[in-house]
Amino acid sequence: MTEATTDSFSRRTAVIGWVYSLVVLSIGLVVSLATGEWLALLCAAGLVIVPVGGAFARSRRARG
């Protein structure tokens, strides 16, 4: 892949990641506020933290 294609793919992946994170955390916050339970927010945070950690590990492995 060329550098421009890689930059475009990387940018697109980052935007998709941000949108995914915002949607999941928003849903977790709404459910948590509606039910009064903190577990929904904890689960939503886990659904965001695990993929971010995986992406970080993948990027470190690719550079290293």
- 6 or 42: whose pLDDT is higher? 42
Distance CA 46, CA 40 (A): 10
pLDDT digit string, tens, across residues 7-59: 777 778 878 888 888 899 899 999 999 999 989 888 888 888 888 777 777 77
Residue type, position 13, single letter:
T
pLDDT, position 2: 61
> Could you tell me if 45 and 60 are in contact, meaning their C-beta atoms sit under 8 angstroms apart?
no
Domain definitions of the chain by residue range: 3-63
pTM: 0.71
Distance CA 25, CA 54 (A): 18
Two structure tokens written together for 58? 């993948």
